């Protein structure tokens, strides 16, 4: 059985859950277990312009629970922290869609140590990226690549820029990278094929 943890259920992973469910149907996989981890609630700003994969009926509901129920997944209404990261021990693959670099660093270190697959998807405005953890690299490499800037480490990001939200100008980079991450990167993983690159950035 393929066991997958979706860490985060917001701008990226709320859409990734949909694409993952569809992918399983397309490639005829029915032996899987998916659990969604998040402790945020659905707010009105999350449903503006299809920004996240929620609608009015989901308002004030837990994101993880709402997404899990849409696609028949399990859920844990909790953030992953150092104290509870052992919750991920049972999973083979980790699909990461968070706006917190401290959580991201924690997951990189954990997946390197536990030899787990990690797909990290990112979006902000018109900038998108994915990173598939390369187990030939070490944490020193990823610290230099992602986690060396203290200001960035302490910043809480968002898929939407504030100015775009204020001007009702929603970008869909988060939707796009969720589609790419699942249908390009994770499909390759399922097929046991190599990606041409484990690190990809694009601005449209």
Distance between CA atoms of 6 and 38, rounded to whole angstroms? 9
Find the CATH number of the domain harbouring 114: 3.40.50.720
Partner residues linked to 77 by β-bridges: 38
Which H or E run contains 57?
none
pLDDT band at 151 (very low <50, low <70, confident <90, very high): confident
Asked if residues 98 and 7 have their Cβ atoms less than 8 Å apart, the reply is yes
pLDDT band at 193 (very low <50, low <70, confident <90, very high): very high
| Residues found in the chain | 204
Domain count, the chain: 1
| Per-residue pLDDT at 141 exceeds 90 | yes
Tell me the backbone φ, ψ of residue 182, rounded to 5 degrees: -80, -45
pLDDT, tens digit, 9 for 90 and up, residues 35-93: 999 999 999 999 988 899 999 999 999 999 999 999 999 999 999 999 999 999 999 99
Domain residues for the domain of 164 are: 2-203
* CA proximity to 130, closest of 97, 154, 172, 101: 97
With tokens 């990278």, the residue in question is 177
What pLDDT does 163 receive? 75
pTM for the full model? 0.95
With tokens 């849409």, the residue in question is 70
pLDDT, tens digit, 9 for 90 and up, residues 72-82: 999 999 999 99
| Per-residue pLDDT at 167 exceeds 80 | no
What letter does residue 113 receive in the DSSP assignment? H
Asked if residues 8 and 178 have their Cβ atoms less than 8 Å apart, the reply is no
Average pLDDT over residues 89-117: 97
Asked if residues 30 and 153 have their Cβ atoms less than 8 Å apart, the reply is no
């Amino acid at each position: 059985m393929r066991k997958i943890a979706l860490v985060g259920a917001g701008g990226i992973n709320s859409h990734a859950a949909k694409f993952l469910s569809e992918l399983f149907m397309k490639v005829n996989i029915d032996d899987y277990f998916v659990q969604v981890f998040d402790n945020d609630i659905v707010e009105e700003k999350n449903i503006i312009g299809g920004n996240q994969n929620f609608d009015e009926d989901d308002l004030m509901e837990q994101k993880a629970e709402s997404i899990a129920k849409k696609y028949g997944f399990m859920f844990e209404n909790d953030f992953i922290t150092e104290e509870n990261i052992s919750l991920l021990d049972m999973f083979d693959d980790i699909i990461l869609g968070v706006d917190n670099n401290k959580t991201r660093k924690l997951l990189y270190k954990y997946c390197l140590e536990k030899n787990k697959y990690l797909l990290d998807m990112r979006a902000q405005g018109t900038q998108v990226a994915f990173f598939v953890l390369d187990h030939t690299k070490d944490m020193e490499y990823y610290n230099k690549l992602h986690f060396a800037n203290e200001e960035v480490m302490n910043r809480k990001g968002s898929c939407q820029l504030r100015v775009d939200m204020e001007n009702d100008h929603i970008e869909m980079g988060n939707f796009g990278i969720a589609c790419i991450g699942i249908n390009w990167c994770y499909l390759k993983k399922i097929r046991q094929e190599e990606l041409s690159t484990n690190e990809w950035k694009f601005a449209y």
